[in-house]
A and B are shown apart, each in its own frame.
Chain A
């Protein structure tokens, strides 16, 4: 089954403790992206990747890192999380000229 898998689904952490949210897709898509969703603000793009070893900043990249060492994986790294990074995070992937597939989301709370 074609899917985008994010882990974990829920995460509670404390300020400053490094964390990684994993994202994996099984559709051999070149394009992958991370978004955060906050009430009243819709989805805002954090980082995206057009292919392996190619990443670009979205609208809200501050405080986040990504890597794309393999086509299927696109982890989101928070080196020193802060409370303003409490949000619902979505990973998405797509092939050229085809629709984006979204994961089911990761609800992150930073205390």
Chain B
């Protein structure tokens, strides 16, 4: 199946620092999604990207859909302690006019923020 490589695997940062993580794929997607998972909970969608080159922000979060359709990055600016969690990228290739299909997730980036 499709492979998504997400990096880094983990990050330990000080409060106030900016964070950057990315995902690369061996094949193209037409949707990129970024999720955050907190302990004991399921992932929650942060940002959805639907077009190559698209740059989208959600508060302190910014994500981009790579031009080649094989990569995406997520930036978090001015991190705070509640940013702690596991961040996942996910790619989706829609075919046949459908709106949902097989979703492939990255391995996750574990973020720790020290006050």
Question: Are A45's CB and B104's CB within 8 A?
Answer: yes
Given A43-B88, A99-B48, are A48 and B101 also a contact pair (CB < 8 Å)? yes
Say which one of A11-19, A64-72, A76-84, A89-97 lies at the interface with B: A89-97
Given contacts A99-B48, A102-B43, contact A42 B103 (CB under 8 A): no
CA distance A43 to B102 in the complex (A): 12
DSSP majority for the B interface?
Answer: loop
**Count of inter-chain pairs, beta carbons less than 8 A:** 61
Which residue of A is nearest B4, CB measured? A42
- Known contacts: A33-B103, A59-B104, A96-B100. The answer to whether A102 contacts B44 by CB under 8 A is yes
What bracket does the count of chain B residues touching chain A fall in? 20 to 34
Q: How large is the interface on A (under 10, 10 to 19, 20 to 34, 35 or more residues)?
A: 20 to 34
Is A110 among interface residues, defined by CB-CB distance under 8 A?
Answer: no
In whole angstroms, how far apart are the Cα atoms of A105 and B1 in the complex? 24
